[in-house]
Chains A and B, each alone.
Chain A
Amino acid sequence: MNREQYQDLVYRELDGDLTRAESARLRDILASDAEARRFYEESLSLFGLLKSVPRQEPSPELKKVVLNSIKTPDPPARHALIHTINSLFTFSHSQEVVMKNKLIIGGALAAIAVLYFAVLYPWPQDSELFGTIGGAKKYRSEQISDKDVVLSGQENSTDGASGDGSPDNAGLARAAEIFRSADIQRTADLYRSLAMEKQIELFRSADLQRAADLYRSLTMERSLTMERAMSIARSADLQKLADIARTADVAKTADMFRSADLQRQADLYRSLTIERQAEILKGTSFEKSADLYRSADLQKTQELFRSLTMEKLAQIYRSADLQRSADLFRSADLQKSADYFRSAPIDRQADIYRSADLQKTADLLRSLDIQRSADLFRSLTIEKQADVMRSAPLEKQADFMRSLTMEKQAALARSLSIDMKAFDRE
């Protein structure tokens, strides 16, 4: 597969457009090709950045202006009248010949009328045009900018800001000074009033305690975008990042987590309580949950998973709902899946097991002890049992067979077209 082909797969994977087989193929490529992994990482970042761009609110006045520009629709009766008039002026060929001369006369009269309206008739004033199409006023709203933001009481602060507190007047350096020294609520107010680029710049310039306080304050109000969360994740030191992650809004923590580099992710994840880890999983979309688990599908997942204790991992799995568990299971690497399976209660194992793809099912079965394998095997449909049997080594096949009732053994044997004596010999 050439570079362009795997790049196309990466984009389509992130779009959610790949089949399971294509996804598996991509994972294989990522596992063996460092350049492909780098491309995947970059693409993930690009998607994250694009997703972080907030939608803008149009001015509240816009709707009014738009509606004033819309003309009143023609009612059906008027439509009918127009239709009637049109039909009156639709002629057969012979009528057209007769009408030709009349049209020439009509044209001359129309020209006179145009001349009258163009030269003698007074043109309407702007104020008379409101509500019409041709003369609709173009909407030019007053855009809200940081110039409009005056922080109450700022004149009493000790930061040396200008009297009106406008960051635009103060300039970036002064805004940074305000940002560093004002109380946190005021800082948050100021922060919200700035353009995003400026916000990021200021966040980077803040000391960590300040950044953490601000982060908490903003996420409580859900006014922090992912891009800002990402900038924090990239620039904060680990201890502070962990503090932030423990106390901030769960969804934002998940975003931040996803954007951090691998080492930081693993460190951060370890620092969280299990409830928090589970909360993050429950509070985010599947795509993000899978990202948390997989990070970059393979390498990151493995390192991240290795960094967790089995107990924590099992707790996380158990706290997620079944569908999510099944989805996560499908996306996790085998060893961890097997580890989890061994610690999970049998009913959940069976549920997840039934939803897993064949390869994983077979791999998983091979990794479990016989009693558990047998329990799981019994919970499968006959078709899946047959699939598993075909892929399992003979010794396991015999174990599976023995775990079934005679009746089920016979059904399974029929679907496999095998001679049961082979297992008796075993």
Chain B
Amino acid sequence: MTDDQTLVRRYLEGERGAFGPLVEKYQKTVYNVALRMINDPDDAADITQNVFIKASEKLGTYNPKFKFFSWIYRITVNESINFVESSRRNEGLDEEPAAGDRNPEEILQAGMLSNSVEEGLTKLSDDNRIVIILRHFEELSYDEIGFILDLPVRTVKSRLFTARQSLKKILSNRLEL
């Protein structure tokens, strides 16, 4: 199997097809990080698309001494956070329709959703949510998270601590931890 660096080099030399395997390899990762950040499949797909467009445009600036996957994670995190902030500015991300506007089935479904881990994640701040996603869903090391978020490892650990404490508090009421 061709490694990432080779594919990057071939793409930069003008071989358009070399980008396909990179998309194939990382689209699920990018999509899932975005999905956990945004909690909306359509928006996550949009972000995935944007991430790869941006990656292809900036590939010339990619430093091969770092792992390609860390670089693509970094773009994904930035795109996701930009999206969240821009959505918040535009319409208010946490705004939910009033219960009176829903039918009983929707209310029931909303009640079940509120019990889910995903829902709990959306209650975290962006900074806390992303460290949980990278550590628990992507299973990245402290060092890798530090590189992606441009943070010292010590800060990664302390942020993880805060994030877990918050998430535990949120879920303990709902999941009987």
Residues on A close to B: CB < 8 A?
7-8, 11-12, 15, 17, 42-43, 45-47, 49-53, 55-59, 62-63, 65-67, 69-76, 78, 133, 136, 138-141, 143, 171-172, 195-198, 200-201, 227
Contacts and interface: CB of A to CB of B under 8 A. Distances in A.
Of A7, A52, A197, most B-chain CB atoms within 10 Å:
A197
B122 to A, nearest CB: 13
Main secondary structure of the interface of B (DSSP, over half): helix
B20 to A, nearest CB: 6
A53 B11 CA distance: 35
Contacts of B105: 171-172
Given A45-B175, A53-B137, A71-B56, 20 more contacts: A7-B165, A8-B161, A42-B177, A53-B118, A55-B137, A58-B27, A62-B31, A62-B49, A63-B23, A63-B24, A66-B53, A71-B57, A73-B14, A73-B56, A138-B49, A140-B42, A172-B109, A195-B109, A195-B112, A197-B112
8 tightest Cβ-Cβ pairs between the two chains A and B? A75-B14, A197-B112, A50-B136, A58-B31, A139-B45, A70-B56, A66-B52, A42-B177
Contacts, number: 134
A62 B135 contact: no
Contact of A66 (B16, B49, B172): B49
A46 B32 contact: no
Interface string B87-109: 00000000000000000010011
Most chain B beta-carbon contacts within 10 A, residue among A17, A46, A71:
A46
B168 interface: yes
A167 to B, nearest CB: 10
Contacts of B49: 62, 65-66, 69, 136, 138-139
B163 to A, nearest CB: 10
B48 interface: yes
A15 B167 CA distance: 16
A13 to B, nearest CB: 13
Given A50-B136, A51-B136, A56 B14 contact: no
B52 A70 contact: yes
A70 B19 contact: yes
Contacts of A46: 164, 167-168, 171, 177
Given A50-B117, A53-B137, A62-B27, A140 B52 contact: no
A72 B16 contact: yes
A140 B168 contact: no
A201 B110 CA distance: 13
B115 interface: yes
B128 to A, nearest CB: 13
Interface of B: 11-16, 19-20, 23-24, 27-28, 31-32, 35, 41-42, 44-46, 48-49, 52-53, 56-57, 59, 105, 108-109, 112-113, 115-118, 132, 135-137, 142, 157, 160-161, 164-165, 167-168, 171-172, 175, 177
Contacts of B14: 72-76, 78
Contact of B27 (A8, A42, A66): A66
Contact of A136 (B23, B53, B108, B115): B53
Nearest to B110: A197
A149 B46 CA distance: 25
B23 A67 contact: yes
Nearest to B132: A50
A50 B32 CA distance: 14
Contacts of A71: 56-57
A11 B27 contact: no
B171 A49 contact: yes
Given A49-B117, A201-B112, A73 B11 contact: yes
B20 A67 contact: yes
B52 A197 contact: no
Contacts of A74: 14
B78 to A, nearest CB: 18
Contacts of A196: 116
A197 B137 contact: no
B16 to A, nearest CB: 5
A56 to B, nearest CB: 6
Given A50-B117, A171-B105, A56 B46 contact: no
Nearest to B56: A70
A4 to B, nearest CB: 8
A22 to B, nearest CB: 13
Contact of A42 (B16, B23, B132, B172): B172
A15 B117 contact: no
Contacts of B44: 58
Contacts of A69: 49, 52-53
B42 to A, nearest CB: 5
Contacts of B112: 195, 197-198, 200-201
5 contacts: A15-B142, A51-B136, A66-B53, A73-B59, A172-B109
A201 B108 CA distance: 11
